[in-house]
Amino acid sequence: MKRISIYDSTLRDGAQAQGISYSVEDKLKIVRRLDALGVDYIEAGNPGSNPKDLEFFERVKALSLGHSRLIAFGATRKVGVDVADDSNVMSLLRAGTSAVAIFGKSWDYQVTEILRTTLDENLRMIGDTIRYLKQQGKEVVYDAEHFFDGYKANADYALQTLTAAAEAGADCLCLCDTNGGTFPGEIFDVTARVKALFPVTIGIHCHNDCELAVANSIMAVQAGATQVQGTLNGIGERCGNANLCSIIPNLQLKLGFDCIAAASMEQLTSVARAVSDIANMTHNEKAAYVGGDAFAHKGGMHIDAVVKNPVSYEHIDPERVGNARRTLISEVAGRSMLMTRINAVDPTLGKDAPETQKIVARLKELEHEGYQFETAESSFELVVRKLLGKFKPFFELKEFKVVVVEPSVNGVNSSATIRISVGEQEEVSSAEGDGPVNALDKAVRKALERFYPEISEIRLTDYKVRVLDSDQATAARVRVLIESTDHRENWTTIGVSTDIIDASWRALVDSIEYKLMREQERKVV
């Protein structure tokens, strides 16, 4: 089985997509997910481009990765500048990664009209930079930017740029369809020629401007490329990058290549959904393999056939990529996919038990309201426990009031007052905060800490809001996701409402109740 190296650029090329701006925490979360998935390389950013990436490369050093290698990304030295004096090249060394990616111009037009330098100087820029980095002990991936456009315009010069990189010691020559305008047949022919000329690893990096990035990547592999670059969910500038969520299963499950561990393949859907949530973007439910509709069946004849034999309308078993079959008009829709998680709460329940039917019906109601439990598994567990009578509330909200005053003073623009009861006792507390949710969070903690001191251990690490039906303008429903930690465990909870404060409160209550439930279980053990 031929090995294909998977090179993920979700954190660098993916960050160039409209509407995406990762925090450092976001990037660290994605690194952990990618490492667990088993990708070979994680192109984590350009340390010379902004302070955020510099901070990321400092903090990521504390992570212990089990499989993936981090890559810092940058350009060849500047025109007329010595490599050792080039600040961007030096930032690659400060990033501390064992591997780096360097991009250089392969299209003569880009050299003379964009860089405004000579063709010979461009070759020296490529060779000097790679040679210097190799002398520093780095593994070097050379990204031949605009290679296919350059090859079509001036094949001889495009190949000269690869020669300069190879002779300088580049470990991989990655051919980039930067403008995304090349067709699969062209990709195959050009990649095959390059493979025949250069005895090093050949990579492929495609963009999706003609919606051919996945097809082009696969054609390049069939022509001899053994490294594939792309992003999860295909996010990226303009129309996006090659989608690794399609490329990996296509290569491994369909063509027999070895990309990631078989067990890791079963994480593909959950990782794809997690990245969508972390990036605060709506997951593409129509996506191949990892979309919610990828294995959904609605037509009666289809459902009947799938019940008899799934192969009748499914090209693979959805569980192989961590997805699940959905029968949209069946009264038992989604039951099988939920049973594992339901049985984690009550192992005695079968799929036809009345309690299971009650849970499934309630989950359908919640999903119709806009709840999505793929990443909010803690809220899911609370729903199941409450329906099964396996949860006793720790407190009851009587009322809360939030006041927002602008302009803010010293970062404080909101106050919250809350009245709760714990058993027969009532507690009223107030707090100020940077925004209404922050004030509400402080007030409820203040009210509850007298009864549950462990509340002080909770720290909110992430807060995301997504508008669910934007056509309703300010009356739209919103979904709030809150991620919390107590330094032993991380958990995510969800709330949905037409009122952002109410949605936030629901997610906040779930976060607190989940923590208290876990503490109760520890005491019992």
CB 478 within 8 Å of CB 466:
yes
Residue 47 is given by DSSP the state: T
How far, in Å, are 76, 90, 367, 505, 514 from residue 15 at the CA level?
21, 22, 29, 30, 33
Does 337 score more than 50 pLDDT? no
Instruction: Between 393 and 305, name the one with better pLDDT.
Output: 393
**How far is Cα 30 from Cα 68, in angstroms, rounded to an integer?**
12
pLDDT of residue 488: 76
pLDDT of residue 319: 87
Element containing residue 174 per DSSP (H, E):
strand 172-177
CB 495 within 8 Å of CB 511:
no
254 & 301 share domain: no
214 & 82 share domain: yes
pLDDT of residue 367: 83
200 & 304 share domain: no
Instruction: For residue 462, list its beta bridge partners.
Output: 483
**How far is Cα 368 from Cα 391, in angstroms, rounded to an integer?**
24
What sign has the CA pseudo-torsion 162, 139, 180, 23? negative
243 & 192 share domain: yes
Instruction: Between 296 and 199, name the one with better pLDDT.
Output: 199
CATH of the domain at 299: 4.10.430.20
pLDDT band per the 50, 70, 90 thresholds, residue 333 = very low
Residues 6+ apart with CB under 8 A from 220: 175, 187, 188, 191, 202, 204, 206, 228
Phi then psi dihedrals of residue 55, to 5 deg? -65, -40
pLDDT of residue 317: 87
Residues 6+ apart with CB under 8 A from 494: 371, 372, 373, 376, 379, 479, 480, 481, 482, 506, 507, 510
* Closest C-alpha among 246, 268, 274 to residue 320: 268
User: What is the residue-wise DSSP string for 480-522?
Assistant: EEEEEE-SS-EEEEEEEESSHHHHHHHHHHHHHHHHHHHHHHH
Average pLDDT of span 433-452: 92
Domain enclosing residue 411, as ranges: 395-451
Average pLDDT of span 177-187: 98
Per-residue pLDDT of 190-237, as tens digits, reads 999 999 999 999 999 999 999 999 999 999 999 999 999 999 999 999
> Count of domains in the chain?
3
Per-residue pLDDT of 58-114, as tens digits, reads 999 999 999 999 999 999 999 999 999 999 999 999 999 999 999 999 999 999 999
CATH of the domain at 77: 3.20.20.70
* Closest C-alpha among 193, 170, 183 to residue 215: 183
> Where do the H-state alpha helices sit in 449-489?
none
| pTM exceeds 0.75 for this model | no
136 & 223 share domain: yes
How far, in Å, are 69, 419, 501, 504 from residue 497 at the CA level?
41, 21, 8, 9
pLDDT of residue 298: 58
Q: In the numeric block, which tokens belong to residue 35?
A: 């490492």
> Is residue 201 a part of any domain in this protein?
yes
CATH of the domain at 426: 3.30.160
192 & 323 share domain: no
> Is residue 100 a part of any domain in this protein?
yes
Residues 6+ apart with CB under 8 A from 166: 173, 198, 200
Peptide bond into 407 cis (omega under 30): yes
Determine the angle formed by the axes of helices 268-278 and 24-37, rounding to 10 degrees: 170
pLDDT of residue 334: 44
Q: In the numeric block, which tokens belong to residue 395?
A: 């407190």
Name the average pLDDT for the chain: 90
Percent of the chain with pLDDT over 90: 69
Angle at 494 between CA 283 and CA 487, to 5 degrees: 105
> Is residue 68 a part of any domain in this protein?
no
pLDDT band per the 50, 70, 90 thresholds, residue 497 = very high
215 & 312 share domain: no
pLDDT of residue 269: 93
Identify the weakest region by mean pLDDT among 35-49, 100-114, 476-490.
Answer: 476-490
pLDDT of residue 336: 47
160 & 202 share domain: yes
253 & 299 share domain: no
